[in-house]
A and B are shown apart, each in its own frame.
Chain A
Amino acid sequence: EVQLVESGGGLIQPGGSLRLSCAASGFTVSSNYMSWVRQAPGKGLEWVSVIYSGGSTYYADSVKGRFTISRDNSENTLYLQMNSLRAEDTAVYYCAREVYGGNWFDPWGQGTLVTVSS
């Protein structure tokens, strides 16, 4: 079964750092485009970052310079290192695979909540 499971969310103070993990099963992370998408409380979906199978990475302007996407091929896991966190980064963070050919998101993880507050 193709599945993604996120972990690492929690309560963090403004300016702090957090690393999210997304463990994949049923497929190989390094052979796919993998994205992070977030959803602030009561709001819509916002794409955050992508790592291509070749290793190129891209970020939304709102997180550029603060967040870093990476993967561990041996662990088949995707990561999102989040630094200099702000209150507006508070959201549920989802990882998702982009399906080759059309780049739609499937599957999605269950999400992990990040709350940035003092």
Chain B
Amino acid sequence: DIQMTQSPSSLSASVGDRVTITCRASQSISNYLNWYQQKPGKAPKLLIYAASSWQSGVPSRFSGSGSGTDFTLTISSLQPEDFATYYCQQSYSTPRTFGQGTKVEIK
């Protein structure tokens, strides 16, 4: 199974800050890497697919990059509605696996 490791597990940031979350796969997954946002009590929501493609309706302040084993989700200017937990997920092979999540909190 492919292991996905996210860092950090949590972070505190202020509105307007630039935030970077990293995700590392235990083997190469090409660009089969997706990012989701989850708010408390809600289902996850797709943000970025295929490492760097925006899902329709996702603000451009979110961006994804990387290929192979190392990936990054960047929020260029954190907004109040962005405080949530973010998960990476590989779709290169079955079983699909998720990172452990990164909780973005208000400083």
Contact = CB atoms under 8 A, between A and B. Distances in A.
Interface residues of B, number: 22
Interface in A21-60: 35, 44-47, 50, 58, 60
Given A104-B46, A105-B44, A50 B96 contact: yes
19 contacts: A35-B96, A44-B87, A45-B38, A46-B98, A47-B98, A58-B95, A60-B95, A94-B43, A99-B49, A102-B50, A102-B91, A103-B32, A103-B91, A106-B49, A106-B55, A108-B44, A109-B43, A110-B43, A111-B43
A35 B89 CA distance: 13
A98 interface: yes
Contact of B49 (A45, A104, A109, A110): A104
A94 B87 contact: no
Interface of B: 32, 34, 36, 38, 43-46, 49-50, 55, 87, 89, 91, 94-101
B46 A105 contact: yes
A108 B43 contact: yes
Interface of chain B, helix or strand or loop or mixed? loop
Contact of B94 (A44, A58, A102, A104): A58
Contacts, number: 56
Interface of chain A, helix or strand or loop or mixed? strand
Interface of A: 35, 44-47, 50, 58, 60, 94, 98-99, 102-111
Contacts of B50: 102, 104
Nearest to A99: B49
Contacts of A58: 94-95
Given A94-B43, A105-B36, A105-B46, A45 B95 contact: no
Given A46-B98, A50-B96, A102-B91, 8 more contacts: A45-B98, A94-B43, A103-B32, A104-B49, A105-B34, A106-B49, A108-B44, A108-B45
